[in-house]
Amino acid sequence: MTTSLSRSAHTLSLLDGEIVEENELGSMRRVTADNLPILNRLSIKRVVLNPGAMRTPHWHANANELTYCVSGTALVSVLDNYSEFSSFVITAGQMFHIDSGSLHHIENIGDEPAEFIIAFRNERPEDFGLGATFGAFTDAVLGNTYDLPSSDMATIRRDTSRTDHRLAARIGDPEIPSGAYFKDPHKFDIEGQPAGLTYAYGNARFARDQYWPALKDISMYSLRVAEDGMREPHWHPATAEMGYVQHGDARMTIMNPDGTLDTWNMTTGDMYFIPRAYPHHIENIGTDDWHFLIFFDQPFPADIGYRASASAYSREVLAATFNTHIDDLPNFPFTPGDPLIVRKSNPVD
């Protein structure tokens, strides 16, 4: 058995991720399979929009999007199939979901920077910017489309390069539709929900399809663990896991199929990826509560934990499993359902 204490192939800092765009309007950084090859079916992006800035209208060709608002106030607009259009206001602790192919934009309408953590349901998401796609067609074709002279189209700056106008400044005050503060099926107030699981040493809130029908192939847990808590060792039989450290310091251990272990410390801004069915655990090693945003490639993730695993078999089977005399086995507590978060009664070793 080999343990790796160096930086693992499962993790990178999203704060130092690949720069998509960075200027006075804000920044976009991402981690895809090009930067972290172990990624599969999931990738992540951090977008910061300064006041008055926007992520211009675009769509994703091969990935649904699930976004968590860390801070700020933004207007999101979405044009879906069948000319269904909606716009809504997002604030800190709220989320939105965008189907692959749906046209959408994000606009900072507040006085402070707006920060978003975005998960994509593809390890290499592909974007089309509305402005860039106008460059695919001639003035005459566009003129015919809008029933206008082709000369009217000649003044629009456009090209098909990947340097699409991703971040742009708004001219004037934001235009906020009166209905933008109402409920919308694209939107979910995860931090406004009661915790789905609550312990003295942590809690979890769930964005999954049982509460949010818009989710088809992705979900998220907002997980907080106190200094005296720990996410028990477990694995997910049918879902990969991609996490982002919103706040705090933690230690993670993952076992790979060849028996090697990756153990490393994580801090605010780090992300990680765990393939389906790899056993892993997360432990608070700081003095503050930590907060993780954990994304899954299924709409309703499930796991198998070590607490329930020890209860599933007789002591005779467990003794054979560990090649240990039955009298030397620990007195495992009977646990028919895993607790997700357990108390950290022993010091960090």
CATH number at residue 24: 2.60.120.10
Domain residues for the domain of 54 are 12-188
Are both 201 and 118 inside the same structural domain? no
Does residue 227 belong to any structural domain of this protein?
A: yes
Are both 218 and 267 inside the same structural domain? yes
Query: What value does the mean pLDDT of the chain take?
Result: 94
Residue 123: its pLDDT value, please? 98
177-184: Cβ within 8 A, 24+ apart: 177/87, 179/87, 180/75, 180/87, 180/88, 180/89, 181/88, 181/89, 182/88, 184/86, 184/88
Are both 19 and 150 inside the same structural domain? yes
The last residue of a domain, from among 153, 188, 223: 188
Half-sphere exposure for 251 (CA within 13 Å, toward CB): 17
Does residue 167 belong to any structural domain of this protein?
A: yes
Are both 223 and 180 inside the same structural domain? no
Q: Is the pLDDT of residue 116 over 60?
A: yes
Q: Cβ contacts of residue 117 below 8 Å, gap of 6+?
A: 14, 44, 45, 46, 67, 68, 70, 244, 246, 293
The last residue of a domain, from among 188, 218, 253: 188
Q: Are 107 and 87 in contact (CB under 8 A)?
A: no
Average pLDDT over residues 145-170: 87
Are both 84 and 27 inside the same structural domain? yes
The last residue of a domain, from among 155, 188, 221: 188
171-176: Cβ within 8 A, 24+ apart: 174/75, 174/107, 174/109, 176/75, 176/87, 176/89, 176/109
Pick from 45, 30, 54, 41: which is nearest to 114 by CA? 54
Residue 55: its pLDDT value, please? 97
Are both 244 and 287 inside the same structural domain? yes
Does residue 348 belong to any structural domain of this protein?
A: no
Cβ-in-10-Å burial (0-12, 13-18, 19+) of 323 comes to exposed
Q: Is the pLDDT of residue 14 over 50?
A: yes
Reported as a pLDDT band with limits 50, 70 and 90, residue 4 is very low
Does residue 237 belong to any structural domain of this protein?
A: yes
Residue 61: its pLDDT value, please? 96
Does residue 53 belong to any structural domain of this protein?
A: yes
Are both 224 and 339 inside the same structural domain? yes
DSSP 208: S
DSSP 191: G
Residue 2: its pLDDT value, please? 39
Residue 331: its pLDDT value, please? 95
Does residue 1 belong to any structural domain of this protein?
A: no
Residue 226: its pLDDT value, please? 93
Q: Is the pLDDT of residue 263 over 70?
A: yes
Are both 259 and 313 inside the same structural domain? yes
Enter the pTM of the model. 0.95
Give pLDDT tens digits for 47-92.
999 999 999 999 999 999 999 999 999 999 999 999 999 999 999 9
Are both 95 and 199 inside the same structural domain? no
Are both 207 and 249 inside the same structural domain? yes
Give the helix/strand (H/E) hosting 280.
strand 280-284
Are both 38 and 64 inside the same structural domain? yes
Does residue 70 belong to any structural domain of this protein?
A: yes
**Which tokens in the block code for residue 144?**
């015919």
Are both 179 and 200 inside the same structural domain? no
When mean pLDDT is compared across 9-13, 40-44, 158-162, 318-322, the lowest value belongs to 158-162
Residue 6: its pLDDT value, please? 53
Does residue 2 belong to any structural domain of this protein?
A: no
**How many domains is the chain partitioned into structurally?**
2
